[in-house]
Every structure is written in structure tokens, then in C-alpha cells.
Structure 1
Amino acid sequence: MHQTSDINQFLADVAQGPSAVFAVLFAISCGLHLWQSRKYRSWAYTWPLPCACILMMAGFICREITADKHKADDLATVVQGLFYSATSPVSSELLPWLNQTISYIVIWAFTSAIISCTAQGCATYFDPDAKTSSVSSALALLKASLFLQLSINAAVLCILVVVFMSRRNDRGNSGGLLTQDAVGQRGPRPSHMFVVSLLGLTALLVVRNVFRTVQVFMAPLSGIWVQEAYFWVFEASVMVCFTALFHVVHPARFVSLGYACGLGGRCA
């Protein structure tokens, strides 16, 4: 078994500066998500995004503090836990845009399981003082959390691919997988853009989750852990691209799925 303190050694050598820049970017993104949620009245579907941005911002702030003060062990659990927790609710955030029945049945169960596994796993696995006997169970929880997120990503991708192909073959039929509003209330082109935008967003989440999944299967002092380039490319940059893309191709621009619409009220 690897020493748990090994997992956090690289945090003492974090480059100063980039974390502060990313913290500012996610702070701006959080404000934009709040504004867009109010504009499109999509709080019921987009509430995880401001929360995720706040967690990412907090993670980068703690990471910058670690870089400046070289206190890796003091903030290791917080830094790792924030980044792992930030994307937990986001993985299932795209489900409500596909079908409300699917979302209400699945989203809370999966989100609760993912958050529970992530919180318990990070609290122990990234704790330098954790007992060796508890590390294995904590690692198993982290793996379970990531596999759950990947399963949601795979389900969303499958649904979107089926819808995309069915619309190419028969533009009036989506196989019943999308809500009626998404299928045709605003015409074929917006509906097509809606599917393409969700495909792009889901693909970015898959990249991030695959990276984290591969990482937890590697030794704590392997390159994928200790070389910062992996983190900046597959975690920080990917999540910035995700939140930026969501602003540009916000699903509510193409379909009316605000809170009132979801409850049967007047759609914007």
C-alpha cells in the first residue's frame, strides 16, 4: 500500500499564478450562470452550475495558497476534495434537458450516490494522516463515484447519438427520447443545435472523468499525479471550456425548458 502522504507531495511544488487566474475565470462564470438562469428561468435545471463554479473557484484559491505557502499537507484534502466534488452534480445536470421523467427518477439518486461516495472517499484518501487500513475503502469509493459519473455520461451520449441519427433519418421523429418542446417547438434547426451542443458538453465531461478515473488507478507518485500539465489540460482547461461552452450554447437558447415550462406553466 502506498503512503497516503505521497498523494499530496506534488502540491508543495504547484506553480504560482495560474490558479489565481482560473479562480477569477470561474468566479466570472458563476456570475454568468446566475444571470443566464434568471434570464431563461432555468433554475430547476442549471442550479448545479453556479455551485460547481464556486467549488472550482475555492479549489483554485486553496491551490494558490498552497503554492505560496508550501503547506501541502494542511490543504491537501481540501484542494483535492473541492475539485472532485465540483463536477459531481454537473455530470447529471444535462439529464433534465433530455427528458423530465428520466431526470426526476434518476438524477437525485445518482447525484446523491456520487456526492456521498466522493465526499467520503476524498476525506480519507487525501488525508495525509489517514490509516493505511482505511485507504483501500476510500479509494474504492472514489472509483465508484467516477464510474457512476461515467455511466451517466455514457447514457446521455447514447441518447443524444440515437436522437441525432433519428433526426437525420426522419426529422420529425426523435424516438420519444426528447421532451416535446425540444423536438419541435422552435423548429428543426434549433432542435439540431440543441442536440449538438449537449453532445459537445457531454464529451468534455467524459474527457475530465476519464482522466480522473485513469488517475485513481495509478500510483500516487506516477506522472499523471505529480506532473501539473495533466491537471491543467484535462481538469482545469476542460472544465473552463465546459462552462464557457455552456454560456455560448446554453440549451435554453434552443428549447424552452424553464421552471414554469417544466411544471406545465407558460414557457419563455
Structure 2
Amino acid sequence: MFFNPLFSIQSSNQGDIMGPNTPEDSLYLYNPSHILPAVFAALVGISLLLHIYQNTRYRFWRVTFFICWGGTLFTAGWILRCISSYHPSNKDIFIAQTFMIYVGPPVYSAAAYNIVGRLMHYVPMHAVLNPNRVLTFFVYVGAAVEGITAAGAAKNAAAGNDLSEYKTGGALIAAGLVLQAVAELVVVAIVAAVHRRCARAGRVPPNVRMVCFTLYGTSTLVLLRCICRAIEAFDMFGNLGCRENCGPILGNEWFLYAFELGPMLVFTYWMNMLHPGRYLPSQKERYLCPDGCTERLGPGWLDRRSSWETFVDPFDFKGMLSGVDSHDKYWLRPEEWLICEDGSFAKGSASNARSVPQEKENISLNGEV
């Protein structure tokens, strides 16, 4: 039968050929590890539970819901891989674990897109595009990545003897990886632009700096994962149908854990350690005044263009060319909006948490009272 090597990652201590106890009809090139998938499923699952707790505590579900959804898919994928290791000839379980492991990371990324939008709601004077369209545009991009990747993974895992289906699946997966990599580069560029504008204004509040560096780091991890998966895809197409000596990438299990699981595991724990709900308000109408410390409740981003215009031209190139902004600069009229009396996220004296007394939250991000 034609062998699908995409997920045929072999343990480094098992050599380049199938182990003696591997069934001839196994979908793996090796005796798959039983322990590693279980251990990492537990680690991803623990991070998922921590995200659920933090999203509830900080009332940040609308922004970081996708971290929990991605964590659910990713955890399920590694659980299914553990089950598949005991039933290496079961095609249905093999397809399911392939699908879940591949679609989890793009969902994780969707949470970062939402955080970028919330960051620009918080500092609207430095926004490079309509913050509401960041949410819409990148979620659509994420949905496209998800759909393309899911279709490719399903076709690839179910290809069996059909070489054309296998190639089609691999091409879809590669397209999804490229699209996600481009999206991450755009995210980094947007965050860098907001960061630079804050710096030029002479004020980069500690919470804004923390969110920016978190997004730089998590996007870099996703890019690393995309690059490594792309290299794997090229190696895969150079070794179609192989059963032995399939190359160092396809023939070593640790590549899967180091370059697929590793970056995303760091991603999810990083988001737990520096949860954006600690640094940004849960209300998108709450914004930071140009003085860099006062926060007010404004009307939210108001764009005078129609919805389709903001979607087609999220960066407002038409307004740039005409010299007329399409949005309302409400932050220039601070007297119209109420000052937030519960503190300031920029000073570290405000919190989204319901259960934490205000006096305990009145601590700056640098640890100073």
C-alpha cells in the first residue's frame, strides 16, 4: 500500500526502519511512543484549564476564547495520538489525530489576532487600522487557514494508495502554512507600528509594552512552527512512498515534538504567564488618554464608512490619499468622556478580576506600590 509519511515520525532510538513489533499494515513507520503523547496531552490540558480559569477570572472570554478552543482541539489531538499508538492500523483514529494536531495551532493564532484588536482599542490614537476590522479580517483569515489545513490534513491522512489525493492534501497543507505565516508577519508589522507610534509619542506604558513583546514572541513561535512544517512538507514530497530511510525529518520522532508541539506548548504557557486580561481592559470602549496614564470610557472606534468599505480597505488607504480620516478622533475630546475611577491599567492599578480586592491590585507592573 502507499504510505503516508507526513505524520510518520520515528523515534530517534528506533533506527531508520520499522520496529520488529510493528504490524505490516501499520500507518506508522515505527512503533509509536505510548508515553510521550500522553505526557504532552496532559501538559496541554493543564494549560487549557489554566486558560479557562484566567478567562473567567479576568472576564476576557470575548478576546481569548480561541486559546481555549485551540487548546481543546490540540489536547484532543494528542489524546487521539496516544490511542492511535496502541492501534497503529486503525485508519479512523489516525485521521482524527492528524486532523486535530494540525488544526489546533491556527486556532491558537486567532486569539493573538483578537488581542491585537483589543490593543488598538486601548490606544486608538496609535491604531494603524480600524480595530474592529482587525478582529473581522484576521478571524476570516484564520478561518481560511483552518479550512484549508483541515481539508489538506484529512485528504492526506485518508489518501491510502491514491497518490493524487495525497499530493492534493499536501498542497493544501502547504498553502495553509504559507497563508498563516503571511498572517503572522502582518500581525508583527501591525504590533510594531503601534509600538513605534507609542514610542514616538514619548509614552509606552508598561502594560502596552508587555502586550507588544508577548505578541512578538507568540507570533515568532507560530512562524517557527510554520517554517518547520514547510520544510517537512518539502522533505515529504522528496520521499513519497518510502518505508525505510526516509530522511532525518520524517525518520525521527523528536522533530514532531520539537517543532510542532514545542512552539505551541511554549505559546500557550506564555499566554498563561502573561495573560492579556491582566494588562488590557475587558471593555473595548475603555481607552488610554494621550497623557499615557488616564483612562476613560469613550464611544469605541467610530468609522464613518460602510462595513464593506472598512473590510475591503481596513487600512483606510482612501483616507490617507485624500488626507481626510474616515474615523472619529474621539480621544481629542476628553471632556466628553467619563474618567475610569477604578484605576488605570497603564499604572497597574486597575483589574478585570471580580474577586481581587482593589487595594491588592493597586500595584504597578514594576512591582511598586
TM class by shorter chain equals 0.7 to 0.9
Deviation at 1:128, TM superposition (A): 4.5
- Aligned-partner Cα distance in 2 for 1:55–1:130: 28
RMSD, matched Cα: 2.7
The Cα offsets for residues 98-129 of structure 1, whole Å up to 9 and x where unpaired, read as 23323233123212211211121111112242
Instruction: Specify which of 157, 160, 166 is matched with residue 135 of structure 1.
Output: 166
- Relative to total residues, which structure has the larger helix share, 1 or 2? 1
Distance 1:140 1:50, change over 3 A: same
**Amino acid of the structure 2 residue aligned with 1:93:** A
Instruction: Specify which of 11, 15, 31 is matched with residue 13 of structure 1.
Output: 31
Instruction: Determine whether 1:230 maps to 2:255.
Output: yes
Instruction: Specify which of 240, 259, 264 is matched with residue 265 of structure 2.
Output: 240
The aligned runs of 1:20-39 (5 Å cut-off) are 20-39=38-57
Q: Which runs of 5+ in 1 are unaligned?
A: 173-182
Distance 1:244 1:97, change over 3 A: same
Deviation at 1:13, TM superposition (A): 2.3
Deviation at 1:241, TM superposition (A): 1.0
Deviation at 1:196, TM superposition (A): 1.1
Instruction: Specify which of 209, 218, 221 is matched with residue 192 of structure 1.
Output: 209
The Cα offsets for residues 68-124 of structure 1, whole Å up to 9 and x where unpaired, read as 343364533222211111012222321222233232331232122112111211111
Instruction: Determine whether 1:77 maps to 2:107.
Output: no
The Cα offsets for residues 16-36 of structure 1, whole Å up to 9 and x where unpaired, read as 211111111122111111111
Instruction: Determine the structure 2 residue equivalent to 1:254.
Output: 279
Deviation at 1:260, TM superposition (A): 8.0
**Amino acid of the structure 2 residue aligned with 1:192:** R
Instruction: Determine the structure 2 residue equivalent to 1:146.
Output: 177
**Amino acid of the structure 2 residue aligned with 1:62:** L
Task: State the identity %.
Answer: 23
Instruction: Determine the structure 1 residue equivalent to 2:223.
Output: 206
Deviation at 1:215, TM superposition (A): 1.4
Instruction: Determine whether 1:104 maps to 2:103.
Output: no
SS state at 1:133 partner: helix
- Aligned-partner Cα distance in 2 for 1:198–1:120: 28
- Aligned-partner Cα distance in 2 for 1:235–1:78: 17
SS state at 2:107 partner: coil
Q: Which runs of 5+ in 2 are unaligned?
A: 10-27, 118-130, 240-245, 288-297, 301-339, 341-350, 353-369
The TM-score, its normalising length taken from structure 1, stands at 0.83
- Aligned-partner Cα distance in 1 for 2:146–2:279: 30
SS state at 1:224 partner: coil
Distance 1:127 1:194, change over 3 A: same
- Aligned-partner Cα distance in 2 for 1:119–1:75: 15
Instruction: Determine whether 1:64 maps to 2:82.
Output: yes
Instruction: Determine whether 1:157 maps to 2:157.
Output: no
**Contact 2:2 2:162 (C-alpha < 8 Å) held by counterparts:** no
Please tell me whether Structure 1 or Structure 2 has the larger radius of gyration of its CA atoms. Answer: 2
SS state at 1:54 partner: helix
**Amino acid of the structure 1 residue aligned with 2:105:** T
- The more displaced of 258-267 and 225-234 is 258-267
- Aligned-partner Cα distance in 2 for 1:71–1:247: 37
- Aligned-partner Cα distance in 2 for 1:23–1:258: 33
Distance 1:202 1:6, change over 3 A: closer
Instruction: Determine the structure 2 residue equivalent to 1:175.
Output: none
**Contact 2:113 2:135 (C-alpha < 8 Å) held by counterparts:** no
- Aligned-partner Cα distance in 1 for 2:35–2:299: 48
The TM-score, its normalising length taken from structure 2, stands at 0.62
**Amino acid of the structure 2 residue aligned with 1:103:** V
